[in-house]
Amino acid sequence: MQITEATPSPARRFKGWDALWLILGFIVAQFVGSVLVGLVWGMGIGFQAALHGGPVPAALKPGLQVLAWSVVLGTALAAAWAVMFTWRYAKPLLTQAEATGIAWRAPSWRGSYALAVLLAVLLVALVVVVEYLLPPDPARLTGPMDQLSRAQGLPYGLFVLVAVALAPPIEEFVFRGAAFAALARSFGTLTAVAVTTLVFVALHTADKIHYWPGFLLVGCLALCAVFLRLRYRSLWPGILLHCCYNGLLVVLSR
């Protein structure tokens, strides 16, 4: 009788390379969102010019409203990619609480939500102190989210939506959830902490490149989120931490 080896389940194959593809897809999806919005804007300008029988202005640049919709669509596409990729390759890991699982589940201690809020307040206090001691130059803060944080009307509303409600859960799902689990399964928990934190910080370069303490502050946020994820075996307190942190910064920035 011939004995055949059972095919490993998708969850068993979810390893470090999957973290790479997940994060690359996350980045590409945001870029694609920006390109699509830019194309629609360009087509609209061209249509208006043709309608009025005039040339397309050569020096016309997209404004903050185009930038805001680019961020919204990019975030939505990145979320769709992360969910589809994880559902396809790591569905059995979604509710597993260990470091090698994604931990999309209630925390082991409900008081962890209060701790998450407290950590958010302390982190924002740290931001205030650091910016007081090492004040940033507003003229050099030209990243997309920095621009939108100073906008008015609809662009500012879309910025708040992304910063407080959309980006935190998807970023926690990707960096402290699925990518973390894949790396932990291949290289161990400490490596997963280091790699996901460094990548998370690096992806904020556009807004922090001209203010180096910003990288350290984002790193502190990431480490607090991963502490909550590991200590209380759930992504949810980290998501609350991230939402509160961003929300408090939005309030203080006005």
**Residue 154 region by backbone torsions, left for phi larger than 0, else alpha for psi between -120 and 50, else beta:** alpha
Q: What would the mean pLDDT of 158-180 be, rounded to a whole number?
A: 98
pLDDT (tens digit, 9 = 90+) per residue, 99-135? 999 999 999 999 999 999 999 999 999 999 999 999 9
Q: What percent of the chain has pLDDT over 90?
A: 84
* Model pLDDT, residue 8: 47
* pLDDT score of 66 more than 60: yes
Q: What percent of the chain has pLDDT over 70?
A: 89
* pLDDT score of 251 more than 50: yes
CA-to-CA distance for 37 and 142, rounded, in angstroms? Answer: 20
Output 12 or 164, whichever has higher pLDDT: 164
- Candidates 246, 114, 100, 230; CA nearest to 169 is 246
pLDDT (tens digit, 9 = 90+) per residue, 182-204? 999 999 999 999 999 999 999 99
Side chain identity, residue 224: C
* Model pLDDT, residue 47: 66
